[in-house]
Amino acid sequence: MSDDSQIKNLGGGSLLIAWQLKYKNVLIVGGGEVASQRIQSILNADAKITVLSPERGLHPHTKHFIELRNDSIIYLDRSFQGPEELDHMDMVLTALDNHDLSRRIVEMSRERRIPVNAADIPDLCDFYFGAQIRDGPLQIMISTNGNGPRMASLIKTRLQKGLSGVEGQAIVKVGQLRNKLKERAPGVGGQLGRERMKWMTGLCNEWEMEDFTFLDETMMERVLDEGWERGKRVPKREAVGIRRKTSSSLSSILSPILPAAIAFVAGALTATLFLTYPRRK
């Protein structure tokens, strides 16, 4: 597809963003299983949560969150009372079986310009949650734009199988290294900012993901000494003390060459038999 065709066909999706909710106030109306899923997602964003639901409607997971995270969750044992429940809220989520009440809460939220999500009613939502993969700072969201939550879950499973499990730790180490680089070469934007970005990009392109997981404080300083301070080059892994773990098992050594070796031996054996077997006259 040409660039012009791609531009003409843009549309039909949602804007996927990483919404910063740290210290923001989020109201969750409902206490069932969906509410517990919402609580987990919002806790990951370090927000302040208010859960509004009669105790009889609390799912065991929701109760568990409320008991263990009273530092971030305020629980109110009652049903939604009216517009005053929305005072001082930065986001509203409904997780109710009562769609009429959900619609009224959405309307109230819109009147106050508060972003709102109504579970299982996509046409009322300002945003969707989607299936998420989390590994420390690594966050991957799969959204079907409200069309197929189960499909999003299946795609999530496929993507998880393609991850090695070291990505989150590697990203943490890269972030720490970037901060150390900024301490050595402080400043925002401009030529220096572009040079920092170019150097970090080159490092990430040339090193393997798992290489970053080996870095400790001393190694990070060595990376900067051997790389940034010496003409902004990418240092060799060995030069900073990274030694990858290798398997010493015989199978791991032979596995790449075993098929060729078998073929060679089979060919040699066939030739030997052909040359030595007595021929009929």
* Alpha-carbon separation of residue 157 from 137, 140, 151, 229, 248 (angstroms): 19, 12, 10, 43, 32
What single-letter DSSP state applies at residue 11?
A: -
Q: Which residues lie across from 246 on neighbouring strands?
A: none
Sequence-separated (6 or more) residues with CB below 8 Å from residue 75: 50, 51, 66
Tell me how far apart the alpha carbons of residues 119 and 94 are, in angstroms, rounded to a whole number. Answer: 6
- Residue 223 burial class via C-beta count within 10 angstroms: exposed 0-12, middle 13-18, buried 19 and up: buried
**Distance from CA of residue 9 to its chain's centroid?**
28
Q: Which three-class secondary structure state does DSSP give residue 165?
A: coil
Of 77, 97, 100, 120, catalytic:
120
Residue 100 annotated among the catalytic residues of the structure: no
Sequence-separated (6 or more) residues with CB below 8 Å from residue 93: 26, 27, 28, 29, 35, 38, 42, 116, 117, 119
**Distance from CA of residue 40 to its chain's centroid?**
15
Tell me how far apart the alpha carbons of residues 211 and 244 are, in angstroms, rounded to a whole number. Answer: 8
What single-letter DSSP state applies at residue 124?
A: G
Sequence-separated (6 or more) residues with CB below 8 Å from residue 112: 83, 86
First to last CA, the chain: 70
Active site residues: 120
